């Protein structure tokens, strides 16, 4: 239940972001110019990248690595 709710919230956030990015870029392009519009979208994307780079934890476990082909064959079984 909680997983479905989280998935729905993320979907809504992505949809709102997609709709607002066009509106924001159009407003900036109208008021300033196209270069300013592109740079504002690039700045927002760069800040999102920095946020996820520094604040999201790594999910991959590095404690055990697969070294041989025989171990690879048994992983899917």
Q: What is the pLDDT of residues 32-67, one digit of tens each?
A: 999 999 999 999 999 999 999 999 887 776 666 555
Residue 66 lies in a domain: no
Residue 29 lies in a domain: yes
Alpha carbon of 15 to those of 3, 8, 12, 52, 75: distances in Å? 18, 11, 5, 19, 37
The DSSP annotation for 34-73 comes to HHHHHHHHHHHHHHHHHHHHHHSPP-S--S----SHHHHH
- The reported pLDDT for the residue numbered 7 is 94
Residue 74 lies in a domain: no
Whole-number Å distance between alpha carbons of 16 and 9: 11
How many domains is the chain built from? 1
Q: Write out the residue range of the structural domain in which residue 31 sits.
A: 2-55
Residue 21 lies in a domain: yes
| pTM exceeds 0.75 | no
Residue 25 lies in a domain: yes
- Tokens (6 digits) for 66: 């697969």
Residue 45 lies in a domain: yes
């Amino acid at each position: 239940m909680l997983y479905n709710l989280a998935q729905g919230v993320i979907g809504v956030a992505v949809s709102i972001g997609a709709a607002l990015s066009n509106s924001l870029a159009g407003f900036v392009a109208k008021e300033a110019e196209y270069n300013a519009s592109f740079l504002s979208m690039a700045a927002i994307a760069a800040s999102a990248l920095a946020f996820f780079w520094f604040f999201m934890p790594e999910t991959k476990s590095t404690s055990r690595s697969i070294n041989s082909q025989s171990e690879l064959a048994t992983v899917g079984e």
